Amino acid sequence: MLSPTEENYLKVILALSSKNEQAVHTNAIAAELRIAAATATDMCKKLAVKKLVSHEKYKGVLLTKTGYLKACLIIRKHRLWETFLVEQLKFKWDEVHEIAEQLEHIDSEELVNRLELLLGSPKTDPHGDPIPDKNGYLPPSRSMPLAEAATHDVHVVRGVADQSSKFLQLLNKLNIGIGSRIRIMEKFDFDQSIAIKVDQQKTVHISDQVARNIIVK
Amino acid sequence: MLSPTEENYLKVILALSSKNEQAVHTNAIAAELRIAAATATDMCKKLAVKKLVSHEKYKGVLLTKTGYLKACLIIRKHRLWETFLVEQLKFKWDEVHEIAEQLEHIDSEELVNRLELLLGSPKTDPHGDPIPDKNGYLPPSRSMPLAEAATHDVHVVRGVADQSSKFLQLLNKLNIGIGSRIRIMEKFDFDQSIAIKVDQQKTVHISDQVARNIIVK
DNA sequence: ATAAAAATTTAGACTAGCCTAAAAATAATT
DNA sequence: AATTATTTTTAGGCTAGTCTAAATTTTTAT
């Protein structure tokens, strides 16, 4: 059995490694969890002893197969609880994170499986993120340029095809970053430009060139 | 904010003091929580510093007004979650306790209030215990002899009017004790005897004299 | 290529919540 | 009423998870 603290480390390591594919630096973990770097190093060593991560001194950590599975099951609980909070308890999607952070550590497989049933086995949570199944399987995220994504759906920004500062500065202006939720409101055939809503703010209009360089899933 | 551990102490102190009305001995707390007596003494001193209990050395503790309120709100959460688990997730009434022990420590007033609404503001949990309202008010339990209680309802045994060993031995045989749940199946006018189900076991038949000496609520 | 800067780890210390063993206070028994 | 037994508290220690400060390793820049 893992402590809530250990579970939080695994979750953060998974989140950070899915962006980079690289080993996750202990400092990045510390920053994310808002704890001292020394504390993160310490815990990483403990997680390595438990074979949940592999730890190479001064290089960082990588989840082992077991660690990855555990992390996915925590994500599963988190996302199912978020769905419950929004769909059944009528919370807004921006109010549920802190509560789900607590609920995700409740230890009962039966509970989470029944919760999934109650909710009708949803595939994604209220933020559009996919919910792993009871085996921890997280469907591969088929990412694509925003330009090719479906109208009306919400898409999560996962990266950018163009890394030039000119493009990134434009994204900053539009308040678009990794993790932003973009809903496509309308597509205009004339120039392939599209109207989008970023994180439920007011609708803005972007060119096809911009849309082709934003990677979403 | 209270830690889950502190909350558990308050809950146990409330449970033990509602039986006795007396100060709760630290040893009784230790026994209930299955921890060493020294540990309970220690924590009681800490709770006293926080003004949640009053502690008189070698005598035991009593909940303060604040402590009592906090304990009631934990009971509220526990019982609402139990109701949710049984009514929405279709757990059996004997499967929910451990899970509710975890859920009761989730820190969000909004969550528990919305949960109450979702469940239709139930007055009792699946075990027949009353659910405190959002101000922590626990309706006074109007207890009465089982003989006067309503047919078909479930009643919780809270005490005995006759404390003779002969009577108590009979109750032992019937598997009736403090906390037993008795459902009255049928009353017989001929001799005022009644048919009851104890803790969902098979139906048994008891005399009016026995029924008059079992106090339920 | 080497020195300076940045990142990471080690060392030592703190708190919460637990323990055992010994001491002190209260209760029970003769 | 005094002695014995029981209950409760004190004293000292342990682990998990956190911290700061110092030492070490890696990276960056001259």
Tens-place pLDDT, residues B123-171: 988 776 889 999 999 887 778 999 999 999 899 998 778 767 788 789 9
The full DSSP string for A41-97 is HHHHHHHHHTTSEEEETTTEEEE-HHHHHHHHHHHHHHHHHHHHHHHTT---TTTSH
Q: What is the pLDDT of residue B163?
A: 64
- Burial bucket for residue B168 (CB in 10 Å: 0-12, 13-18, 19+): middle
Which three-class secondary structure state does DSSP give residue B185? strand
Identical fold at B4-63 and B144-216?
no
User: What are the chain B neighbours of A115 within 8 Å (beta carbons)?
Assistant: 89
Q: Is the CATH number 3.40.50.10680 carried by domain B144-216?
A: no
Q: Looking up tokens 């989470």, which residue turns up? A: A112
Give the H/E segment covering residue B43: helix B37-49
Of A72, A96, A75, nearest to A84 (Cα)? Answer: A96
Of A127, A131, A113, A141, nearest to A19 (Cα)? Answer: A141
Distance (Å) of CA B140 to CA B15, B37, B38, B143, B207: 15, 32, 34, 9, 28
- Highest mean pLDDT: which range of A24-38, A137-151, B7-21: A24-38
In this structure, of A41-45, A174-178, B22-26, B130-134, the range with the lowest mean pLDDT score is: A174-178
Does the CB of A6 fall within 7 Å of any strand D atom? Answer: yes
Read off the tokens for B215.
């106090």
Distance CA B194, CA A153 (A): 63
Query: Is the pLDDT assigned to residue A211 strictly greater than 80?
Result: yes
Of B91, B178, B81, nearest to B122 (Cα)? Answer: B81
Which parts of chain B sit beneath pLDDT 70? 20, 128, 163
Q: What is the pLDDT of residue B90?
A: 97
Asked if the C-beta of A5 comes within 8 angstroms of chain B's C-beta atoms, the answer is no
CATH for A4-63, options being 1.10.3720.10, 3.90.470.10, 1.10.10.10, 1.20.1250.20: 1.10.10.10
Handedness of CA B137, B139, B140, B146 (dihedral sign): negative
Which of 57-96 (B) contact A at CB < 8 A?
A: 85, 88-91, 95
Backbone angles phi, psi at B24, to 5 degrees: -95, 125
Does the CB of A77 fall within 7 Å of any strand C atom? Answer: no
Distance CA B210, CA B206 (A): 6
> Quick one: how many helices (H) and strands (E) in chain A?
8, 8
Q: B111, A88: Cβ pair inside 8 Å?
A: no
User: What are the chain B neighbours of A98 within 8 Å (beta carbons)?
Assistant: 108
Those residues with Cβ within 8 angstroms of residue A12's Cβ, 6 or more apart along the chain or in another chain: A29, A32, A33
Distance CA B151, CA B186 (A): 6
Query: Is the pLDDT assigned to residue A39 strictly greater than 80?
Result: yes
Complex ipTM value: 0.79
Residue A168: pLDDT band (50, 70, 90) is confident
Distance CA A73, CA A169 (A): 36
- Strand segments, DSSP code E, in B23-132 are 53-56, 60-63
Count of CB atoms situated within 10 Å of the CB of B116 = 19
Does the CB of B58 fall within 7 Å of any strand D atom? Answer: yes
Domain ranges of chain A: 4-63, 144-216
